[in-house]
Amino acid sequence: MSLSLGTGPLAGDPGGAFNFDLSEAPAHRIFFADYPRRLRAVVGDRVVLDTTGAKLLYETGIPPVPYVPLADFDQALLEGTDHSTHCPFKGDASYWSVRVGADLRENAVWTYEDPLAAATWLRGYGALYWKQASDWFVEEERVLGHLRDPFHRVDVHESSRPVTVTARGRVIARSVRPKLLFETGLPMRVYVPRADVVPGVLAPAEKRTICPYKGEASYWSVDGIADAAWSYEAPLPEAIKAQGHLSFDADGIEVDVGEPRSQLPA
């Protein structure tokens, strides 16, 4: 899905609502889009919300936040509080805590009971802070990291561009068969086959990170530079072509990408 095709926010007929006239777009923009997947959040052993009617709220510079019809929260687990916050774009938010037995998640859920005129579509919806839930599920799958943005893409392409990787000026990898990973909103990443890395320069590191689009990354020290490379040993389908490859980025590391070959592949 592209932002400018189908029902994307920049398409001719967006599948959501804006808080601005496209011809006079403000600096801070809001897009409220359908999220028809089943979404559930669990605290302890209780389901706090279960919905097929969620929306994603996009705001300039902020990752999308799922908003859920208030009727799809387990009201028995919610306790009203006196806490409130003000957003100049949405209005005043009121809060509930979530209590499951002795487990109290304070001010975990918020709603705009009387939103500003530019965001009236928020009325009747509430949001749960992502980290206040023990687990989130989309359909029957546990969410890895944070919620996947339907407008976010990961594409991995085979390339003939020659790549040279140096660590403190020493060449530690050369490849003419890299994989180039393109991810929405991020710079291109170069992945080289492990076989094209100089033997003995990699040492396994303890660091791990989670990407909801690519999977769990394992890290490597490179010629004494800590956490200078990473790999996806068991990537998600979108990044499967990067399996068995390494990407490099750290102080002291330089990745040089040359010009692609001129001839077409056979």
pLDDT in tens, 202-217: 999 999 999 999 999 9
pLDDT of res. 186: 82
Shared domain check, 136 and 20: yes
pLDDT of res. 5: 44
Shared domain check, 86 and 25: yes
Assigned domain for 245 exists: yes
Shared domain check, 92 and 114: yes
Report the share of the chain in percent with pLDDT over 90: 78
The domain boundary, picked from 142, 165, 194, lies at 142
Name beta bridge partners: 41. 49, 136
Shared domain check, 178 and 231: yes
Shared domain check, 160 and 133: no
Q: What is the CATH number of the domain that holds 106?
A: 2.170.150.40
Q: Which DSSP letter does residue 264 get?
A: P
Domain hosting 126: range is: 16-142
Distance CA 73, CA 51 (A): 8
Give the helix ranges, DSSP H, for the chain. Answer: none
Q: How does the average pLDDT of the chain come out, rounded?
A: 91
Assigned domain for 4 exists: no
pLDDT, one tens digit per residue, over 66-99 is 999 999 999 999 999 999 999 999 999 999 999 9
Question: Is pLDDT above 60 for 7?
Answer: no
Residues 83, 95 contacting (CB under 8 angstroms): yes
Shared domain check, 159 and 203: yes
pLDDT, one tens digit per residue, over 97-139 is 999 999 999 999 999 999 999 999 999 999 999 999 999 999 9
Assigned domain for 64 exists: yes
Of 39, 92, 43, 91, whose CA–CA distance to 69 is shortest? 39
The domain boundary, picked from 95, 111, 142, lies at 142
Least confident of 1-15, 66-80, 129-143, 179-193: 1-15
Assigned domain for 52 exists: yes
Assigned domain for 166 exists: yes
**Amino acid at residue number 239:** A
Question: Is pLDDT above 90 for 20?
Answer: no
Assigned domain for 148 exists: no
Assigned domain for 7 exists: no
pLDDT of res. 4: 35
Shared domain check, 244 and 126: no
Shared domain check, 163 and 59: no
Q: Which residues contact 16 (CB under 8 A, 6 or more apart)?
A: 7, 9, 31, 32, 33, 34, 55
Shared domain check, 179 and 122: no
pLDDT of res. 112: 98
Show the tokens assigned to 95.
């809060």
pLDDT, one tens digit per residue, over 33-70 is 999 999 999 999 999 999 999 999 988 878 899 999 99
Shared domain check, 195 and 120: no
Question: Is pLDDT above 60 for 196?
Answer: yes
Please give the average per-residue pLDDT across 26-35, as a whole number: 85
The domain boundary, picked from 83, 117, 142, lies at 142
Shared domain check, 121 and 223: no
Assigned domain for 200 exists: yes
Shared domain check, 126 and 208: no
Q: How many domains does the chain divide into?
A: 2
The separation between CA 126 and the C-alpha centre of its own chain, rounded to angstroms, equals 21
